[in-house]
Each structure stands twice: as C-alpha cells, then as structure tokens.
Amino acid sequence: MRLPLEGRAFVVIGGTSGLGLSAVRALVGSDARVVSVGRDPEKAAVLRQELGAAGRVLAGDAVDPTTAESAITECLGSFGRFDGLYHVAGGSGRRFGDGSLHAISDEGWDRTLELNLKSIFLSNRAAVRRFLELKQRGSVVNCGSVLGYSPTPHFFTTHAYAAAKAALIGLTRSAAAHYAGNDIRFNVVAPALVATPMSRRAQESPEIQAFIRTKQPLDGGRMGVPEDLDAAVLWLLSEASRFVTGQVISVDGGWTVSEGQIPQSDKSP
C-alpha cells in the first residue's frame, strides 16, 4: 500500500545527515514536500541542490528557539501547508563529559540534555502551537533510542543521554494525551544501534560489532541503517496512522528482546 503522502508538507529537524536525511529522501520519494533543517551549512547547500523544487533546506541549530518556528513558517510559505514534524536532531554528549552517573560533569549533563531534550521541547512546542493556530490535525514524530528504556551498561554508558531519551518518551506521551482531542498526534520511533556519523565509535569497535551480532539478531545480526526507520516514520507522519498516538515503536533489530550474549545458533529451538 502506498502511504497517503502526496502533496503533504513536513518539517524534519536534523534532516541533512543520518536518519533525518534518509527520511527526507523517503518523503520526497513519496511525493511529499519537505523543509529539512541541519546545523552544517555545507551539507544544507548540497541537499538543497539534490531536492530541487521538492524541498527547502535551512541551516540552523535545533537548540535555538527560532529554528523550528522558522522552518514551519518556511513550510507554510513555500508549500501552503504544514502537516507534520519529524525531530531527529540530537546526539552523544560523550565529548562534553557524559558517561556513568558518578563521572558525568556538570557540562556533560547540561549540554547532553540541551541537545537531546531541550531541542525536542522547542520543536514540538513550535509544531503544536502552529497546529492549534491553524485549527488543524497534525503529526509529530520524535526520534528516541532504545537506551531510554533498555540499557546495555558494558558498551553504552552515557546516563545523561539515557535520561534525555527516557524524558523524551514522557513528553511525547503526555502531549499525545493532552492534544488527542485536537487530532494532533505524538509518537516516538526508537532505534537501536544504527550506522550514522554519531555511532562511529561503535562501528570501529570489533568488540561492539561482535556484541551487536547477538543483540540485534534480525537480518543476520547487523547494525541498522538509516533506511530501516523510514517506513515507520512515514507511516506515523501519514494519515494511515491517524488512529495511533502516544506510542513508542522500537526499530531495533531485536535489541529489546535479545540477551546479547548467546549466539542465536547456540540456543535451543
């Protein structure tokens, strides 16, 4: 079934690389129109050329309160409508001092929550304000992480990041409950380990790769790729999911139901 996306218009925050870029391309491939936002002006310029008339690309920081508002305004001005928002922007706070609780620096805590939680608050607030102003239905999809509810302490110990991703779920579900009567939906997609620029450390670690082969056993036991999330994201943004809100959809290769220690071939049938 082809999702009903033709002619609709969306904003993707964090849409010039990784998961967001893949979603932007999938939306355009489904005949939607997109405003993509990313921090890197060079990446924005390259994507602008690729999308042509089907998209607009803005350079902006997701923790700036004006970024999402400007993107939504651009969406309405360029395409005459605004149907939904996909927020992907975020990232590891390890470089700022995130880590185990006893070792997290004040800066590590503050910067990680700003990057992964405040940015979500700003974009979601901008979206719901505009939906209410326009008196229309809409869909907000937030990108979380399985680490928000399924920790793996040996390899992925960044407690500020986990706290932010858990809080993201709480915000999404609370908003979903509050705005359901307005037909404004909020949902989360939660990936496990996906090959993006953020996961370079894991991609280059033979030990983590061996672990992933049993922790994400689907499709041969591999890291995810950005395209693995596209179908779920497009479904949640489309009217095909109009009766779905407040949900967390794990797109994780089996992470949340696997032990991550025992090879599948060694288990009893």
* Three-state SS at 17: coil
Whether 161 is a known active-site residue: answer yes
> If you count DSSP H runs as helices and E runs as strands, how many of each does the chain have, helices first?
9, 7
Q: Which residues contact 178 (CB under 8 A, 6 or more apart)?
A: none
Cα separation, 187 vs 235, in Å, equals 11
- Picking from 268, 247, 245, the residue whose alpha carbon sits closest to that of residue 137 is 245
User: What values do phi and psi take at 17, rounded to 5?
Assistant: -160, 165
Buried b (16+ CB within 10 A) or exposed e, 8-43: bbbbbbbbbbbbbbbbbbbbbebebbbbbbbbeeeb
Burial of 106 per CB tally in 10 Å (0-12, 13-18, 19+) = exposed
Catalytic residue among 86, 149, 161, 179: 161
Q: Which helix (H) or strand (E) holds 169?
A: helix 159-179
The Cα–Cα gap between 134 and 75 comes to 13
Name the residues annotated as catalytic: 161
